[in-house]
Amino acid sequence: MTTTTTPLPDLVAPEFWNRTIEERAADLAVIREAAPFTEWSVLNLLTLAQDPFWAATRHADILEISRNAKVFCSGQGSTAIQDMPPEAAELFGSFITMDDPRHARLRGIVSRSFTPRRLQSVLDSVETICTEVIDGMCEQGEVDLVETVSAPFPLLVICDMMGIPRSEFTTVLDATNVILGSGDPDTLNGENFFTGLFSAGQTLIGLMQEVAEHRRANPADDLTTELIHGVDAGDDVMGPEDLGPFFILLAVAGNDTTRTATSLGMHLLGRNPDQKRLWQKDLDDLAPTAVEEIVRMASPVTFMRRTVTEPTTLSGNDFDTGDRVVMLYGAANRDPRVFEDPERFDVTRAPNPHVGFGGPGPHFCLGAHLARRELAVVFRQLLTRMPDIEPVADPVHLNPLGIPLVGGVKELRVRFTPSKPLEA
């Protein structure tokens, strides 16, 4: 429970989240050290009521909440702090907004195609797509890294993996920008938040339905084919009502860890040139630890929510049935109880038990293996093809309506010595 009478930084203020990760981390540390759990509330734009919640900021508590899906469930809301109609929650969250047995069934269908062996062809294409993207910007000398690399690279991987035609890439990018924008006016193109959000969702579902219809008659070597036909005879398959929301999940949450971590990783390397030089001296051997450290420090996914299903006590805090608990991953990833010198960016840090891909349990990120591969590839190419690359300003963060699901970056200007495309 909250045990301090000192005013805490205003966690729910939109301006809290459009600052640098260093500024946010400093205030999250104050909240984390005040108490294991602190009480807040946010305005529900559908009901115009205040929805109260508990903020979980300590590493050990987030591990326990993540493991205990029976008591801390996802089926009453996970990707939004406020309560949403179940249909809306599932539209934008697919199986991560469900509990078993529905969650286990859909995750099982997807997990068949997300093993390292099944992903091998996708992992092989990551290098090619990364080369293509960097070829498009390497001669310019100064660019917005978000526009030229961070945003297109992981989304191209996902579109190719799903069999989405390249001609539809801009459509997917524009729709995902709206959903990821968390209400930022720059991403809504003049629409109000709910109109823009649901319009973007329907655009992605409509596109996925067209692709799936084609793949039912014309199977191919892509994830859409595997989801609707199965990998082996007798496999359970995904129906039309689940395929569209899954594509939204993949196109939004599935690419944004890489997107945001690429931008914030470059920011961190610019702030820590000694760590950049260290990594450049041993790119392949240090890639695994460097990537984990970027995910820890950047914590691209800001939160996931759980709802208490029965009275319980954790770290001395009593919870009632129906209480909302919001796990703030960035705070846990800098918990001094777990991480030595947690504010130091260290590309050699090991072990590194961060929760940047979620805590242990049934909702751990299925795409973590792919995200790690993408980050290793993109930083190896950036740091070898343009070794003097550096930010020229701090990242420009989203201006969200409240606590954003993803701490997105709108712009990060970088400069470097121009080089020739590899595929020229």
| Mean pLDDT along residues 70-88 | 90
Q: Is 396 a member of any domain?
A: yes
The confidence band for 332, taking pLDDT boundaries of 50, 70 and 90, is very high
Cβ–Cβ under 8 Å, residues 40 and 51: no
Mean pLDDT to the nearest integer, 38-47: 91
Mean pLDDT of 385-409: 92
- Quick check: 42 pLDDT over 70? yes
Local structure of residue 13 (DSSP, 8 states): S
- How much is the average pLDDT of 337-347? 98
Residues paired with residue 37 on neighbouring β-strands, in sequence order: 56
pLDDT in tens, 146-170: 999 999 999 999 999 999 999 999 9
- Between 322 and 233, the more confident residue is 322
pTM value is 0.95
Q: Is residue 61 situated within a structural domain?
A: yes
In a domain, 101, yes or no: yes
pLDDT tens digits along 241-278:
899 999 988 888 778 889 999 999 999 999 999 999 99
Answer with the residue of higher pLDDT: 187 or 272. 272
Dist. CA 16–CA 153, nearest whole Å? 28
Q: Is it the case that residue 1 has pLDDT exceeding 50?
A: no
Q: What is the pLDDT of residue 5?
A: 59
User: How many separate domains does the chain show?
Assistant: 1
Whether 284 is covered by a domain: the verdict is yes
Question: So what's the pLDDT on residue 414?
Answer: 98
- Domain assignment present for residue 7? The answer is no
Tokens of 195: 């109109």
Q: Is the pLDDT of residue 219 over 70?
A: yes
Instruction: Give the chain's radius of gyration (CA, Å).
Output: 21
- State the average pLDDT for the chain: 92
CATH number reported for the structural domain that contains residue 112 in this entry? 1.10.630.10
Using DSSP bridges, classify how beta strands 312-314 and 317-319 pair: parallel, antiparallel or unpaired: antiparallel
> What residue numbers bound the domain in which 176 lies?
14-415
Q: How confident is the model at residue 215 (pLDDT cuts 50, 70, 90)?
A: very high
What confidence tier does 171 reach under pLDDT thresholds 50, 70, 90? very high
Residue 79, domain member (yes or no) = yes
Look at 87-96, 285-294, 345-354, 388-397 and tell me which has the smallest mean pLDDT.
87-96
Neighbours of 387 (CB within 10 A): 13
Residue 421: inside a domain: no
Angle between the 169-180 and 152-162 helix axes, to the nearest 10 degrees?
120
pLDDT at 46 over 90: no
Give all strands (DSSP E) within 5-57, no chain letters. Answer: 37-43, 50-56
Tens digits of residue pLDDT in 13-28: 989 998 999 999 999 9
Q: Residue 29 domain-assigned? A: yes
**Measured over all CA atoms, what is the biggest interatomic distance in the chain, rounded to whole angstroms?**
64
Do 70 and 309 contact (CB within 8 A), yes or no? yes
Q: What is the pLDDT of residues 99-132, one digit of tens each?
A: 999 999 999 999 888 777 777 888 889 999 999 9
